[in-house]
Structure 1
């Protein structure tokens, strides 16, 4: 995969500096341990101070919790197991990888990639991957454990740098988190916080759960365009210079031509998968389906269908993987299936260790209220500047992107700062719909450069499959151009969108007029 490369640019020197600095950090597992200890110390130092902030979630004074008190240390020890096993990404990753592991080691994914590369023009490989990554938001966290590693496999199979494929899909899945033309559970979740915040000063405000759907749909084009250009013109050329692919790779699909027996096995396995999907649609379609929530909805976070996404992903890959394995002759008995599942878990051992320390750190950071205090102080500072509407919108985007480096959950951040932002901008005549759209831009773009994102260590593991020396600094330096360019371009896009008066979504407005 060696390519002729131009001379090192100023951007290369900057990103190389970021990479070297980041890679001087300890192993991610130890980094999370050190960060947890730092939070403990700061929580003890800040606990006696009254910062004068009211927690909008409780209506009470926001105080820093001293995590070094006897009661908190006892709670830490007694709840350690629950914190670890209840760490949301852990179960998602492991269960999905059990199914994907069978599909991969049986040869089913390999066969599917050969078909995909057979009809996908090489020039359109990057935008198609980013589009698939964006659509994967609909299936909760499926993109992190499925689409991102496949991006590397597909690029490698096409003779391109696999880490460029990982970067492109990571940018689509996480950097473009709020760019999707398909409704997902995040839409009503954020809308509920926005509506509650708006009703602080106007109880009559009612917002549609899809009040941003047109904007997020068209934003998909922005993310695809930015991701396509950066991946092909900036990121991949630099990767050939700074991170050559290791010579000896294990368990990476090879792209020899499919044999007749493999073609027949692939068709049979895919047919089984399609039958399963059709059966799922038939099950979920009726208004009285048990896969719907109490209100008959399929896409809310309370709907059993949405809560079953990861088990369904497991089955969607496990079933055709097993069928392909036996039909192709790669499996001759069920112990081979179990062997594939065990092999996939073996590759996750480092991630499990990181997940343990990451879970403890995030739990400590949340309980300390340090992240919540930072968010509220930043929001109040922005409010005190009394900027014009357009500059305030830009300020919200930038502040949301910064706070996202400290508080990962989109709903947790919005629960904290929406009671400040939404009423503040309503008094300036700016609608809650527009304020929410601005927040979603900022909330997306910095996901891909913060090691505090629960899935960030997993993406490092995916990269190490091809370049074992990959560290946190390597991944940050790769993704930083996406963050900076998306921040600028997406912000400008929102301002132009607002100027043109294109509807943000269903029943949405740009202006708020007090009754």
Structure 2
């Protein structure tokens, strides 16, 4: 075998692998259609299962036999028709995500998030550029579109300007933005989204159980630094050496025309003003929750647990993005009046049309699943099976994380995948003793690490288009070959942190969150 033919065969192997993923993914309809079909399927299956008497014995003390409730009859149709609207409006993730995005929209449209990202990466010392790029990618997922649209091309340009391979910069940024998707220093929009779905799933077993947006904050905070370190090591020790020395003749664009825009003096002033306003907000919020007399502590117990502060955390996400965003916009003269603020929030909402339609059908599926008792029955039978085979210890999360990572190859939307899997796995793992918050944290690992190796991820095509600018023969197989080391290292490293943090150190994954579920 010649040296020239070996890379071609490797690219062919990766291409065949990805072709298989594409084929499997293309068998699935659009996520919205998928949820509509699932909702219809639940109705039909409930009638069949009820006819054959499918049931399960509730294992809890005093538990009764749980039977399938049919929706394929007159009573079921009446319930569907009368509950269609309330299923939608009462779906917890809908309101929480929209409210949070109002604040994020102001920060994004004012230019604050973009400027902060550019400042973090462009002002980094040459030796620290890689870690700054990956770190910026992770924290950018608060406004994910910016990470893909702004940071990935910017990282490629910066690496090229430093005499490094631009695709290494692209890969570093892409790994942080996408493979480290769930990690962040701050509670962002993905937290209330997933928490709302987890709450609905947990209510199948415990109707009073509530999972807040802060449920995974501690674990995701520390994960941010782990992802930054792992991404840096993979970039500098594996990906960049494999890419070799960059040949500008491989580019499909005129690289001399590329310009990296440094922060202007007015943008720097805006960031300083935004930072100060954020600091003031942080101090004010701390005064409401840290002292024993804090007005947002639990009025009955005086504790932080169950306090209005934690229950209303989405409101504070809105405020901590909206106020600094407005201050930045005011200083930079991007926002001169209340009309500019309103326009920013309106533009943010205008991008959520697809999400709102998705939520409508997802809400019906989740509601129907709960009404029929399928969730309880599958959870009981699944938990019984795990107990019979002795798979009730922490090792059960190995299989769970791997399953989530595999499903993510074909169903890239975090909310869509969790809305489908949570009603089954959250109750099942609760019955063998694990808290919903821990289950959600494990899911977020699997849902993130394979984003960068599947074309089902909505921004994969955009990243490939950026890569082609610097290496015109870049194909899907090349991208997979380049990003696969990140997926492997992130999966092993992040899962190891999960087991160390949760089970070895017995640390909570979030604010006042338990590791084990006690009925």
With normalisation by structure 2, the TM-score equals: 0.64
2:265 to 230, 253, 260: 260
Q: What's the CA shift for 1:124?
A: 0.9
Change (3 A) 1:219 1:268: closer
1:282-334 Cα distance to aligned partner (Å, 9 max, x none): 22221121222233333x3x221122222212111211222222222223332
Aligned-partner Cα distance in 2 for 1:158–1:412? 40
Q: What's the CA shift for 1:126?
A: 5.5
Change (3 A) 1:319 1:462: farther
Change (3 A) 1:446 1:64: farther
Structure 1 residue runs without a partner (length 5+): 1-5, 134-142, 178-183, 198-211, 239-246, 248-253, 423-431, 452-458, 469-473, 507-515
Match of 2:345 in 1: 341
Match of 1:394 in 2: 395
Change (3 A) 1:315 1:373: same
Is residue 36 of structure 1 aligned with residue 33 of structure 2?
A: no
Match of 1:128 in 2: 135
1:156 to 150, 153, 156: 153
Q: What's the CA shift for 1:402?
A: 4.9
1:86 to 87, 90, 96: 90
- Secondary structure of 2:57's counterpart equals coil
Structure 2 residue runs without a partner (length 5+): 1-6, 157-166, 186-191, 207-215, 244-252, 254-258, 408-416, 466-475, 509-519
2:302 to 296, 303, 319: 296
1:112-167 Cα distance to aligned partner (Å, 9 max, x none): 1222113343311465257658xxxxxxxxx6xx2544432433332378797566
The equivalences for 1:75-474 within 5 A come to 75-120=79-124, 121-125=128-132, 127-129=134-136, 132=139, 146=142, 148-152=144-148, 153-159=150-156, 165=173, 168-174=176-182, 256-293=261-298, 294-298=300-304, 300=305, 302-386=306-390, 393-395=394-396, 397-398=398-399, 402=403, 413-419=425-431, 421-422=432-433, 443-448=443-448
Aligned-partner Cα distance in 2 for 1:149–1:401? 26
Aligned-partner Cα distance in 1 for 2:105–2:440? 34
Count of equivalent residues: 417
2:48 to 31, 34, 45: 45
Match of 1:18 in 2: 21
Aligned-partner Cα distance in 2 for 1:55–1:27? 36
Aligned-partner Cα distance in 1 for 2:272–2:441? 41
Aligned-partner Cα distance in 2 for 1:214–1:347? 30
Assess if the C-alpha contact under 8 Å between 2:54 and 2:68 holds in 1. Answer: no
With normalisation by structure 1, the TM-score equals: 0.64
Match of 1:209 in 2: none
Change (3 A) 1:117 1:219: closer
Assess if the C-alpha contact under 8 Å between 2:138 and 2:184 holds in 1. Answer: no
Aligned-partner Cα distance in 1 for 2:68–2:487? 31
Assess if the C-alpha contact under 8 Å between 1:394 and 1:491 holds in 2. Answer: no
Is residue 504 of structure 1 aligned with residue 506 of structure 2?
A: yes
- The root-mean-square deviation of aligned C-alpha atoms, in Å, is 5.0
